[in-house]
Amino acid sequence: MRLNKFISESGITSRRKAEELILQGRVTVNNKTITTLAFNVDPEKDIVALDGERIRRKKKLYFLLNKPSGYISTTDDERGRRTVLDLIPVREKLFPVGRLDADTTGVLLLTNDGDFANQLLHPRNKIIRVYEAKLDKELEEKDAERLVKGILLDKRKSKFEKVYFDKPKDRTRVTVECVEGRNHFVKRMFALLGYEVKKLNRKSFAGIEANIPVGSYRELTIAEIKKLYQHNV
């Protein structure tokens, strides 16, 4: 692992700031000062220190939360509103992988692994998100086709990968699949065609489903973490 990455993953500072510390001669590996940015370390064997104090690699954490309505997807809020971190009482600093609106429920991943989060959110990886939407009126077939074919949003063509009905007799309940991570994407897409989303639930993210009660959380399994990493090869 690159030395700067090891330092940033310890939670001390960012990778860019870690590079500055290395160039300043403040970092040692096995008691030897290192000023080469491309230097690699073995996280399990090498002793890395900053200003003489050993840096220990933090444990990476990965959680699945079945988000309830009424919580915002940020680490803190200046207005004192409840955040998703209030639902996961751990000492380590976590952050959500992307965001869900306060009134949107369902799958939300939280982690302290920045690289993992960035890869999942990068547009090139086209991570599938599945949403269940309750509309204010029945979705017409022609509009469903338009949503899959593509419409202009933010001056560029945007679309759902799939649109289908869990209950064909109730066309106000719609499930959509998309790879977009823009804010309010599902709601805005429907709004462009004259529909209001009354309720929105994210059923799955990258194949991970909320198989736990609303408001509860659990750690991701090793198999699930490996599956998520495979999305980013």
Q: At what angle do helices 114-121 and 222-230 cross, to 10 degrees?
A: 50
Based on the residue annotation, tell me whether 101 is a catalytic residue of this protein.
Answer: yes
Extract the tokens encoding 150.
């593509």
Q: How far apart are CA 140 and CA 203, in angstroms?
A: 23
Give me the catalytic one of 101, 103, 115, 143.
101
Beta-carbon count within 10 A of 117 CB: 18
CA angle 150, 98, 124 (to 5 degrees): 50
Which of 75, 98, 114 is CA-nearest to residue 185? Answer: 98
Asked whether the beta carbons of 138 and 221 are under 8 A apart, the reply is no
Catalytic residue positions, numbered: 101
